Amino acid sequence: MSLEISDHPSDKRYVEQFRLARQLANDKKDSSKNVIIAFGCSFTDPYFRVDYSWTTSKRGPLPPHLSGGWKMWPEIFKDMLEERDKSQYHVLNFGRSGSGFGHGFESFLKVWPYLKHRIKFVLWGGTDFNRFEHHCYRMHVNLNNRRDIAIERTNGKGTDYERYMEYGVIDYIDNINRSLADPRVVQWIMMKRLRLMTFIEDLSTSNGGEFLYYPLIEPFGGGSFYKTGGSTSPSWKIIQKYLQDLPFILDLKNDKKRLKHYVNLSIDFSGTFWTSWSSETLFTGKKLKILDNKEWPNDDGHPDKYGQEDIANQFWKHYVAHEKK
Amino acid sequence: MTIEISKEPEDLRYVGEYRLARQLSNDKKDKNLKNVIVALGDSFTDPTFKVDLSWIKSEGPPPPHICNWKMWPEVFKDLLEERDNHEYHVVNLGRQGSGIDYAFECFTKVWPYLKNRIKFVLWGGTDFNRFEHHSIPYLVSPDTRRDDFFDVVAPGHGEEFYRQYDDLGVTQYMDAINRMLHHEHAVKRIMTKKLRLITFVEDLCTSNSTEFLYYPLIEPFGGGSFYKTGGRSSPTLKTTQKYLQDIPFTLNIKNNKKRLKHYVNLYMKFSGVFWTSWSSKIVIEGQKLRICDDKEWKNTDGHPDKHGQIDIANQVWNHYITHE
């Protein structure tokens, strides 16, 4: 079997990671367990650059030092690991802007059968649970693109409206967003995602590897959908409440050792509390996002260079704190 | 960790299998005994399958002898027990109307807990174009929007289906998908994604000393046309075979023909890959193995009857022992 490499134009900038994966899988000389595979969205994507069309900088495009190109957190994590272990690791970063959990999982499926003997770490930067891939077209569908604020900004249509119309997903998106008021729907979506997460955790640990998941953005993007007949996204508090009944949490409560795999997931205050990267910056006032730059006003909420270091540090601290437990 | 058991009302008739799976995974006495068979698939495999009486054309409901029998995983188990002289347990997670993604999801529900006990994963392949609704437990089949569906397959139920699809916001989505089925890249993309899931399960099984057998019981694309909704026709079996030549699944199998042992009735010949589905087998050989083959109780139900289930089990069994 050989690891597949896409020849689709939209995958062009991502094939390099798959080429490296194939090379590592086929390396007859070196079979050491020293590969780190990373998954996530734009917060993880090694090719992430600020989308100028979305920023509100009044001085034109952001300068290169603010628009991306810095080391992403999986790479920084690798540096820390190499420094400690005094040996070489390889990072395969499959993060992709705009993608959801399904895309990460699919990338995992692509590489696991070929590389499992070499994978030491699976690092997962959790993203929005409500993004999915079109059934037959290479397009990430983001339900948040139809939230009220997006519709206001785009003359009543929403981001990516033309593409979404062409591929028949507008009604589907609006229907899902409307259903978010129903606790069963939110629980259902969470359950499906967390089930796959548990599956990967089990595969990784059964294989003698490490697994770390950190929800970098909230599982439901927030905002309201009144303009398309819905109400609001489930709040943070509601999500925590719903989580209590899910098999994922019930299992964790029965086996607290598994908390070692979930960064910043603590079980206390009569429930589960997740601290996302964004709320961390909110609470501590740290300046870790691109929009924190005052010289070049913009509204890009992605982590900047310091934000990436902060994420890597949180992963690392969690890992070393739980390593020997 | 423990195997989850759904509380959804529509899952009620399926929870028995998950209860059994949980019981087997918690069994301390037999915890390392590899004697569990996990089966995946749709209505051709579903242990709770019953003929949908409202769809058939008979003057009255068919009698029990044409709607109640052992399904093929159970028949396969009997063959295995007879040969090995010891007991096996079947956990049959087949569900009518479901697709490949759903089967994969069922697999992920039980694998972490049962992997030490699973000796066989038997997968009755289904339509590649079915998927589950994003936010509710509802299985969507774009094929039900084909031109002849409401006239021939489910007469009198068109409005009910349409209303349900509209309520769930999937009508436009299904039609868009069906319209894309004449684009080579769309069909290849669907096939690649589904076959990747199957390859992944195959790899997990073989790494775990578990036997894996996949048999496409129905064609990967349901057939028929979609002109009424702005589309054309489904890819034919010939087209599907042609496209299969370029996708990683086939290219990998060509390089490693030993893997053919996992795929029942998948042949490499005629300059390519040839799939024989259960339905084409009966067309070619004229065997009477379907519910609709019963002449006494006229109906249009194309599902395998008792003899069809035995036939499927035999094909899977013969393939297994030939390659064992």
Chain B residues within an 8 Å CB radius of A199: 108, 111-112
* Residue B180 and residue B189 in contact, taking contact as beta carbons nearer than 8 Å: no
Asked whether the predicted pLDDT for residue A275 surpasses 80, the reply is: no
Least confident of A27-41, B118-132, B213-227, B270-284: B270-284
8 Å CB contact of B134 and A132: yes
Chain B residues within an 8 Å CB radius of A258: 1
Distance CA(A248)–CA(B4), nearest Å, equals 9
Asked whether the predicted pLDDT for residue B196 surpasses 80, the reply is: yes
Q: Give the tens place of pLDDT for each residue, B246-276.
A: 888 888 888 888 999 999 887 654 334 445 4
Q: Domain for residue B1, yes or no?
A: no
Dump the DSSP string for B47-63: TT----GGG--SSSPPP
Asked whether the predicted pLDDT for residue A203 surpasses 90, the reply is: yes
Chain A residues within an 8 Å CB radius of B101: none
Phi, psi of B61 (to 5 degrees): -65, 140
Tell me whether 0.95 is exceeded by the ipTM: no
Query: How many domains would you assign to chain B?
Result: 1
Beta bridge partners of B92: B39
The domain covering A9-142+188-322 belongs, at the CATH homologous superfamily level, to SGNH hydrolase (3.40.50.1110)
Asked whether the predicted pLDDT for residue A278 surpasses 70, the reply is: no
* Residue B137 and residue A188 in contact, taking contact as beta carbons nearer than 8 Å: yes
Whole-number pLDDT of residue A211: 98
Angle at CA of residue A160, ends A282 and A172, nearest 5°: 95
Distance CA(B253)–CA(B146), nearest Å, equals 33
Mean of pLDDT values over B281-303:
76
Percent of chain A topping pLDDT 70: 91
Higher pLDDT, B26 or A56: B26
Q: Give the tens place of pLDDT for each residue, B158-185.
A: 777 788 999 999 999 999 999 999 999 9
Q: How confident is the model at residue A55 (pLDDT cuts 50, 70, 90)?
A: low
Average pLDDT in chain A: 88
Q: Domain for residue B4, yes or no?
A: no
Q: How confident is the model at residue A273 (pLDDT cuts 50, 70, 90)?
A: very low
Q: Which residues contact B287 (CB under 8 A, 6 or more apart)?
A: B281, B307, B311
Indicate the angle between helix axes B100-114 and A183-206, nearest 10 degrees: 50
Least confident of A205-219, A284-298, B121-135: A284-298
Mean of pLDDT values over B210-234:
89
Q: Which residues contact B276 (CB under 8 A, 6 or more apart)?
A: B265, B267
Q: Give the tens place of pLDDT for each residue, B297-323.
A: 877 788 888 988 998 999 899 999 999
Secondary structure (3-state) at A141 = strand
Q: Domain for residue B190, yes or no?
A: yes
Higher pLDDT, B239 or B96: B96
Q: Domain for residue B164, yes or no?
A: yes
Mean of pLDDT values over A216-231:
88
A253 CA: distance to closest CA in chain B (Å): 10
Q: Is B32 exposed, middle or buried (0-12, 13-18, 19+ CB in 10 A)?
A: exposed
* Token digits of residue A85: 């272990």
Nearest CA in chain A to B250: A1
* Token digits of residue B176: 């868009």
Which residue matches tokens 């998927």? B131
Dump the DSSP string for A262-309: BTTEEEETTEEEE--HHHHHHHH----BGGG-SSS-----SB-HHHHH
Q: Where are the alpha helices (DSSP H) in A154-261?
A: 161-166, 170-179, 183-206, 236-243, 247-254
Q: How confident is the model at residue B279 (pLDDT cuts 50, 70, 90)?
A: low
Whole-number pLDDT of residue B284: 60
DSSP one-letter code for B236: P
Higher pLDDT, A265 or A182: A182
Asked whether the predicted pLDDT for residue A221 surpasses 60, the reply is: yes
Mutate to test the interface with B, among A114, A130, A135 (most CBs of B within 10 A): A135
Mean of pLDDT values over A291-300:
85
Q: Which of A112, A188, A189 sits opposite B200 (nearest CB)?
A: A112
Exposed e or buried b for every residue in A195-208, given b needs 16+ CB within 10 A?
Answer: bbbbbbbbbbbebe
The residue range of the domain holding B145 is 9-323
CATH number at residue B78: 3.40.50.1110
Whole-number pLDDT of residue A325: 63
Which residue matches tokens 């697709």? B99
Q: Domain for residue B3, yes or no?
A: no
Which residue matches tokens 């509100």? A56
Phi, psi of B12 (to 5 degrees): -50, -45
Which residue matches tokens 């590897």? A209
8 Å CB contact of B176 and A202: no
Compute CA A88 distance to the chain's CA centroid, rounded to the nearest angstrom.
25
Whole-number pLDDT of residue A46: 95
Q: Which of A166, A185, A195 sits opposite B109 (nearest CB)?
A: A195
Whole-number pLDDT of residue B154: 66
Distance CA(A201)–CA(A195), nearest Å, equals 10
Strands across the sheet containing B89-92? B89-92, B36-40, B118-125, B211-216
* Residue A158 and residue A151 in contact, taking contact as beta carbons nearer than 8 Å: yes
Beta bridge partners of A49: A68
Q: What CA–CA distances, in Å, run from B322 to B38, B206, B265, B315, B319? A: 21, 17, 12, 11, 5
Q: Which of B134, B172, B197 sits opposite A176 (nearest CB)?
A: B134
Mean of pLDDT values over B133-143:
93
Average pLDDT in chain B: 87
Q: Give the tens place of pLDDT for each residue, B78-94.
A: 999 999 999 999 999 99
Secondary structure (3-state) at B68 = coil
The reported pTM is 0.94
Mean of pLDDT values over A23-34:
92
8 Å CB contact of A137 and B180: yes
Chain A residues within an 8 Å CB radius of B115: 206
Whole-number pLDDT of residue B310: 92
